[in-house]
Structure formats: C-alpha cells, structure tokens
Structure 1
C-alpha cells in the first residue's frame, strides 16, 4: 500500500481493496482509517465537518484541502476539485500553493523567488520549503538580538554589584562577587519560535534538499532554546520597524506551528498535518485580487458587519456579514463568494444555485443597499460555467449577478468576454 496518496475534495477513502487509486477514490490503511474516524469525531464536536462516515469501510471527505499525516506514517494529500479529472495533479497542487501564499499575504515576488511555478513537491514539503527559504533570507539580513539581564556569582566584578546579596553572604565567601549585568543574546520570543518551527521541519521533512537546508540552519541556532510556550511567545512577537524583516517568515512559522490556519490538525501526534477550508481560501484570494486591482477612489471592505437582520428589544439580532463591500463615492456593491461548481446549461436544475444563498443576498440588498442596487455572487470558473448568467431581478431596482472567477487568470468573466478585475466597479455601475 502506498505511504502517500493524493486525492481531491469530496474523495472517497476506504480500507477495501481497489484496482488503483484515483483522485476521487483511494485505499488507506486500517490504522489510518481509524485515526481519521477519531479525527472526524473530535472536530465534529467542535462544529467542523471534515468528512462523513459511509459504512464501516468508507469515509467521504468534505471541502477541506491540505495534507494529513497519520501516526502510522501514511500521508494523505487533498487537492482542490477545480481542474477536471483529466488534468494532472500538479496543476491542482500549484493552485493550492498559490491560494495558501495569498492567504498568508506573502509578497508575490517572494513566492516567485521560492520557485512556486517549478517546485512540484507535495504540499507539506512545499510549505516547509517556503519557511526554510524565508528563514535563510532572514539569516542573511541578520537575527535580532536583545539584552538579557544575568544575575550570577563570580570571582571578578562585571557590570553592577548587587550590594544587598553581597552583604548577606556568609563568612568565608568574601572573595565572591554577587553581580548582575546585561548580555546581548538572540534569546527572544521571535527567535525561540523560529527554533521550534525549525526543529519540527527537521523531524518531518522527507525531501533531501529541505533536509540539508533545515539542518544547516539548525546548526546556526544550536545555542538558542526552543519556545516553551508558543502562545505566549506569539503574543510577544514585535511588529515594529526594527522587526519588519521578520514578517515574511512569521507567516510560515505560524503555519507550521498550528496557529495561523483557518483549521489545523493538532493533538498528541504532531506530524505535518494542515487543513484549509476551500471556501475560505477562495474568498481570501478573490478579496486580495480585487483589492489590488480596484480603480482609484474605490474602497473594498471584507467581512463588513454594519447591519443586522432585525432588532429585538432595542438590540440588533442576526448580524448580516457579506464577504465583500465595494464603495465608490455614493455607489455601493455587495459581493459574496461561494466555492461551488455551477452548470450554466442546467436551467431546470437552477444552474446548481442555492435558494438559501439568494435569500441571504436579498437580505444584504435590503440592509446595505436600501433595496436598490447591484449584488454579485462569485463562483469559480469551470468547464460548464465560463461566463456570467443573465441578471436575476428581485424587483426593478435590485438585481443579482452570478459571475465566474478564473483562478488561473485572476479575473472575473462577465457576459461573453473576459473583463479585467480593475474594471469591476464601472462594469457594475
């Protein structure tokens, strides 16, 4: 049985014998299956639906992507279900890497230098490679040191004499000095966290290049202690001007240490296991692309929550929180993203649209637009959904546009032609 399997969203994992593994169905070991069942039960209690149990030998994955590593060593890589079945898995992996880099707000120049287009390793190795290269660049610019107060007993004077402790010394120890002084050391919260993440990478990586680079960097940090309290050290991470060159590596450090992700697998077993909700990755990527390309004078706000559905006893109830709100002068547009495939030819099946989503957008239109204006639902482009549907009219004053977004070309596709993102606002006006 393969120690590493590659599937995609909503794939079927089973312990039954299969002729061969595919992107939509794969065989896992009984121990990995049992671990996945425990994982599923744990996150179901906290409200996250990672997968569904289908019989005693089968699990159906949900819309989470990333990589899982079981205690028995089997690695399950879950890719987005965006490209068609005939496409190679490298394209889906490259898309996922791009979405993760966007989620971490990593500079595109840094990603290009890291070889995003060429590096074809599994997702976990790619994440570790980004961290190691960011850490390598940090070493070239220099680690930040800080003064640490040291209190000790010595035969010589150094720094400041602790008069109180010196006077309390027993007879016969007059030749020892109780002193305190400052030492310029790299032992600070940021560096301790980097050491902890680097130790995890050294233990987890299976890629020879990553292994060599990780151990070379570990030798440079061998005298530095690892973090004893990850959460406390992250709270003390400074973001001032002198620490600006730490920002890139901080994102990858948080990712590896299970703090920055929308959802991370963490427990007694600390393998490299990373899971992301595709809805969140898609929403964040669309938000970043639109914000970077809007025309002058337009302002985009994500996850705005200015209005509620109703008021009860003088207090608002049921917050209305659209994904995106674009404002330009007196004009306003409400946009929402959905990670779901549509079929523009399936009129009888309502194109795959959800009635609940339309109720939601109608409520947004009433509260945010006063019942007059334009609403936009953004779905990923697919083979059966390549251009915007004809507008849906709630009434003569309020319309809803259903628009595809091309993740590869980074643009919205309106009507019968491709429209650059920076033309979004005048197009809806």
Structure 2
C-alpha cells in the first residue's frame, strides 16, 4: 500500500508512532526503513552522507532534499529547513522548486509559474506537470520525423534493389526482391525518450490532472516505441536548429528518467526519485544571482576554473587544491565569496553553530592564495529571522577581512554592509536595498 511522508532536512525517520503533521519527525513502514538503511550504506560507500542510523528504529536525514520513492510504494518528500513559522510546507516546496529551476537552468511553463503559490503538490508532481505541459506544446507544434533506412524482403520492387543480397537469394525465392528504402517516421532517439518518460509519468502520477493529460498524450503517441537504451538515446539527442523546439523538454525528461544530472542522485531502484544536496542547490542559486547582478565589465569565476591554486607544493606537484565557490573580478580588484547552507544567528551561541572554525581557516587560505593577503572575503548564508543583517567584519589582518552576509531567498538579494566595497561591482538596486524592504522568511 502506497504512503506519502513529508519531512524537512535533518528530520528523524522512525518505525515508532509519532505526532501527526510533524515535519521534523515522521513514521515510515518497516520495509521502507530497511530499504533506507541499505540506501544509506550505498551512499556511504560512495563518499556521500544521506542518513545517520540512530539505534534500531530511528534514522536521521541529512541535508538532501527532493523526493525518494521506495520499492514498497512509500514516497518520501524532503523540503528545505528554512522557514520556521507559518505554512512551512508550502513555502518549503516553493523554495525547493525555485532552487531546482535555477540550479538546473529549467524553464517552467508560464501558466505554472503564474500559479506557483497555488500549486501545493509535491516536487515529483510538479516536475511531471512541467514535463507534460512541455510535451503537450511539442505535440501541438509537431513531433519531429526523420528518414530511416529499411532493408527488407518484398514481392514488389521499391526503392533500391540490394544486388548482393538478391544474388544470394536461396533457390525457390527468386520471385522475392531484397530491397532497401527510406521511411519517413517519428522513430528517433528523442521521441523514444519522450515516450519512455511519458510512460513513467502515467505510471507514477497521483494527480488527477497529470494523469488525464498523460492519458491523452499516450493516445496521441501510441505508435511510438519506448527507448530500450536510455543512455545511448540521450547521447544521440540532436541539438541542431531543426530540433530547437525539443530543447526545453530535455531537462524535464532527464529528471523523470533518473539520469545523472549535475546535482541529482539516483539509486538502483528506478522509482520517481530525485535527491539534491541542499548545499549545491544554494551555491548554484547564488551563482545565478551573481551573474545577473554584476555590472558590465565584472567577471564571475566559479570554483576557480582556469586559475585554481593549491595550498602547497611538493616539489613541482601541487597538493590540496583550493577552489573557492566564486571569484569576482572588476577593474583590477578581486573578491572571494563562499556560499554555505547553514543557519547563522546573531547571538554568540547561534553564531558558533554556523561560523565554524574550519570555514575561517578555509577562507584564510583563499585570502592568501587568491588575494595575496589583501582584500575582502565573504561567507554567504541563507537569511533567517535571527540572521537578517551582515555581521561586523572579522579581521585576519589590517589588510584582510572576512564578512558574513545573509542572502534573502524570498526577496532574491544579497544584503551587504555599506563598509564592504563589493557593491562596486553589483547593480545598486540588487545589493544595497534597505533591509525593511526585504521579505523576512517565515
């Protein structure tokens, strides 16, 4: 029997009864619990941390968000732990959809964007709705056909005669022709993948509107075969100008078919599962914001691409490569920025929870390797009610200082202190808006 469980990051999953509607603790079935333990072991063997086992009947989720479907039919939805008051579930779903769209550069249909606040379905249903909307538009515009070479035996001559095969014809079959010809049909890699994704949606959706549209599209595409080699068909996906109208649906198709996206994680079970590390989603979102708000002439470099430095060298061999999240260059000046998905606070105890000593050592190394010990660095945290303004700067030396800055995910802006010179390379309307104009989460 299928069941839906909704929790937040770092929630506790247990087989014991718990209070209903608690996003920080939820009950799962014994079969789902055992499968999650096996999945956690596979993650740990690959160097990723998904769950912490706490006793025999309890698991603690880590910072992955998204949807996970178990073989027994339990659909586990994990939303970001960002909003504390009000409708945390609805706001968490809205935030997660926004982060995934920016991180994977997905284009949502305008009708869905307009009704984003009213769409309360889980992430998987939203992804399937976006895929169906794109597929519906594509079918109305026309599915791409292509010529396919066919070699067959017929009683009549059509196309070209395959002379070699005809000469090897067995006695008594000389009245048959071995021919080759081209057939104009929609059986191509892109359409096979769309059919496979459509079948997956029709089987997995629990939303009446999604199921109805999926049934209509299945009837229209009934003659199309499904893909038997998904990886090979994705590699054969054409990007020429005649296939331009297929590009918008490709990322949705990849998500549904559990392909290895830059941030997605999929296991051996081929259910409707999409897990994303929240740290990477936040980092990608901040990157997209920075690209949009930099003034002309400023350059954004991610992960030190092309100019990566190392902490030290052993002979001529670099050791311990240093890759800050963002480098911003403008008019001969440089800033080093690092995004951290942690909850920083104003009080001393709250500050210690997020401002970790290891992060300060990391930024200290960045400052000396990328700024030659002179300049400004910043740690960017999500804005919360307790952390709604930049902290006073931390001085490594008279020439090198570190800022802790809040990023408002609801209002889409980085809050910067007037003393920090980073505003020189950002559009004034984006980075220096008054705090009282921003939306406080929760």
SS at match of 1:296: coil
Residue of structure 1 in register with 2:394 after alignment: 392
Answer whether contact 2:146 2:185 (CA < 8 A) is retained.
yes
Q: Tell me whether 1:258 sits opposite 2:258 in the alignment.
A: yes
Which 10-residue stretch deviates more, 166-175 or 406-415?
166-175
Q: Where in structure 2 are the equivalents of 1:11-410 lying within 5 Å?
A: 11-107=11-107, 110=110, 112-113=112-113, 115-259=115-259, 260=261, 262-267=263-268, 269-305=269-305, 306-346=308-348, 350=352, 352-410=354-412
Answer whether contact 2:161 2:177 (CA < 8 A) is retained.
yes
Counterpart-to-counterpart distance in 2, 1:399 and 1:223: 64
Which 10-residue stretch deviates more, 225-234 or 336-345?
225-234
Answer whether contact 2:67 2:76 (CA < 8 A) is retained.
yes
Counterpart-to-counterpart distance in 2, 1:325 and 1:246: 34
Shift of 1:169: 1.5
Answer whether contact 2:413 2:431 (CA < 8 A) is retained.
no
Counterpart-to-counterpart distance in 2, 1:229 and 1:41: 28
Shift of 1:74: 1.8
Which 10-residue stretch deviates more, 323-332 or 103-112?
103-112
**May I ask how many residue pairs the two structures share in their alignment?**
425
Cα deviation per residue 1:258-295 (whole Å; 9 max; x = unaligned)?
1225232331x322121111001101111111111211
Shift of 1:347: 6.4
Q: Tell me whether 1:6 sits opposite 2:6 in the alignment.
A: yes
Counterpart-to-counterpart distance in 2, 1:109 and 1:185: 28
Counterpart-to-counterpart distance in 2, 1:380 and 1:422: 20
SS at match of 2:348: coil
Give unpaired runs (5+ residues) of structure 1: none
SS at match of 2:196: helix
Residue of structure 2 in register with 1:422 after alignment: 427
Answer whether contact 2:108 2:130 (CA < 8 A) is retained.
no
Shift of 1:195: 1.2
SS at match of 2:342: coil
Q: State the TM-score, normalizing by the size of structure 1.
A: 0.93
SS at match of 2:415: strand
Shift of 1:349: 5.1
Counterpart-to-counterpart distance in 1, 2:113 and 2:61: 34
Which 10-residue stretch deviates more, 220-229 or 378-387?
220-229
Cα deviation per residue 1:42-65 (whole Å; 9 max; x = unaligned)?
111111111101111111110011
SS at match of 1:52: strand
Give unpaired runs (5+ residues) of structure 2: 433-442
Answer whether contact 1:77 1:123 (CA < 8 A) is retained.
yes
Identify if the C-alpha distance between structure 1 residues 202 and 53 changes in structure 2 by more than 3 Å, giving closer, same or farther. Answer: same
Answer whether contact 1:295 1:423 (CA < 8 A) is retained.
no
Answer whether contact 1:346 1:352 (CA < 8 A) is retained.
no
Q: State the TM-score, normalizing by the size of structure 2.
A: 0.91
Shift of 1:373: 1.2
SS at match of 1:251: helix
Counterpart-to-counterpart distance in 2, 1:246 and 1:199: 18
Cα deviation per residue 1:355-374 (whole Å; 9 max; x = unaligned)?
11111111111111121111
RMSD over aligned CA atoms reads 2.3
Shift of 1:85: 4.5
SS at match of 1:171: coil
Answer whether contact 2:413 2:430 (CA < 8 A) is retained.
no
Which 10-residue stretch deviates more, 380-389 or 345-354?
345-354
